[in-house]
Amino acid sequence: MRQLHQLSVAEKLLHTGFIVLVCFGLLSAELYLYVTHTGLDGKTGVTLKDIQISYYGNRSSTKLQTVLPTMLTNAGVPKAQWPEATATFDHWIKGGETQAEYDAKIKPFVATHCLMCHSVAMSKQLHNPPLVTYDDVKAVAKIDTGMSYTTMLLTGMVHLSMLGVIFWLAGYLFVRTRISSPLKAVGVIVPFLGMLLDFSGWFLTKQNPSFAWFVLIGGALSCPIASLEMIVAFFDMWVGIPGFLRQKSA
Ligand code: HEC
């Protein structure tokens, strides 16, 4: 097998085009993940907690309970009445959100304090959910259980097949550099293992949030290492690599 630095200019250009495009692709994928995961826990940077909220959800509360204090302020409900209002919603949610309790307690409260902004007409203007019917209110009172399995499978299908091909090609280029054999062996397999760790981490984290580090470590080992392989291939092809990384010739 000819090595990268021995290739014709045309072949080198072909590989270079691939490397540049795919490295930017992987970089934008990482940035996309960063902006969609960062700050879910209110802190900057992607933290374990962000990953837990993405896959496991924020199960200690529902959307409705989380925003209730803000909404009571919106509605001009005096602070003295907040504990009672909060207890009314908490009791209904804990008790399984029955229609009977909705009719007796929730519906009248919402009609008095919330409907001025959450009617069907107003909700279109204010871009907030309508809270007119039992189903409307139930929809915002769901426990947040994180990403759905369907979304995970769909994302998995796209990720695993696309990254599988990219990692294979990146590994193929890396194998044809002058890097030492042990480094090559480790380098080519790590992105695949990282991706498997990441992927299994989504499902495990949905069961138990303490698996979130699978996703974090898997993510750090997959695309970044594959990019590194391609960057090394690029340098080996055009300029060469430092001696200590090279395979000692026999
Ligand atoms: C003065 C208008 C106003 C009143 C009164 C009001 N809301 Fe809202 N509500 C909004 C607006 C605007 C939004 C969308 C922006 C936001 O999330 O702050 C919203 C959003 C929401 C959401 C969705 C939050 C999300 O992030 O998906 C819920 C749930 C909610 N309100 C419940 C209530 C309840 C319950 C009441 C009555 C106690 C109430 N609101 C009273 C204006 C109001």
**Residue 117 beta carbon below 6 angstroms from any ligand 1 atom:** yes
Q: Using a 6 Å cutoff on CB, does residue 156 contact ligand 1?
A: no
Cα–Cα distance, 184 to 203 (Å, whole number): 31
Going from the Cα of 145 to the center of ligand 1, the distance in angstroms, rounded, reads 21
Give domain limits for the chain: 4-56+146-245, 63-140
pLDDT digits (tens, 9 = 90+) for 136-180: 999 999 887 888 899 999 999 999 999 999 999 999 999 999 999
Q: Which of 67, 70, 131, 133 is the best mutation target for the ligand 1 pocket, counting ligand atoms within 8 Å of the beta carbon and taking the most?
A: 67
Q: Name the residue with the closest Cα to ligand 1, atom 11.
A: 128
pLDDT at 61: 83
Q: What is the pTM of this model?
A: 0.68
| Dist CA 114 CA 70 (whole Å) | 12
Give residue 128 CA to ligand 1 midpoint distance, Å: 6
- Residue 87 confidence (pLDDT): 96
**Which position has the token pair 């399995």?**
149
Condensed to tens digits (0 to 9), the pLDDT of residues 103-127 reads 999 999 999 999 999 999 999 999 9
To which residue do tokens 């005096």 refer? 78
Count the alpha carbons within 13 Å of 215 in the hemisphere toward its beta carbon. Answer: 27
Q: Are 26 and 227 in contact (CB under 8 A)?
A: yes
Indicate whether residue 93 lines ligand 1 (CB < 6 A): no
Say what the pLDDT of residue 143 is.
Answer: 81
Q: How many CA atoms lie within 13 A of 127 on its CB side?
A: 0
Q: Report the pLDDT value the prediction gives residue 156, as an integer from 0 to 100.
A: 92
Q: What is the pLDDT of residue 238?
A: 95
How many residues comprise the chain?
250
Closest CA to 228 of 197, 200, 194: 194
In whole angstroms, give the CA distance from residue 121 to residue 220.
47
pLDDT by 10s per residue, the chain, length 250: 789 999 999 999 999 999 999 999 999 988 888 887 777 777 777 888 888 888 888 888 888 988 898 899 999 999 999 999 999 999 999 898 999 999 999 999 999 999 999 999 999 999 999 999 999 999 999 887 888 899 999 999 999 999 999 999 999 999 999 999 999 999 999 999 999 999 999 999 999 999 999 999 999 999 999 999 999 999 999 998 888 888 876 5
Give the Å distance between the CA of 224 and the centre of ligand 1. 41
Span from the CA of 174 to the centroid of ligand 1 (angstroms): 54
Ligand 1 atom closest to 126 (CA): 12
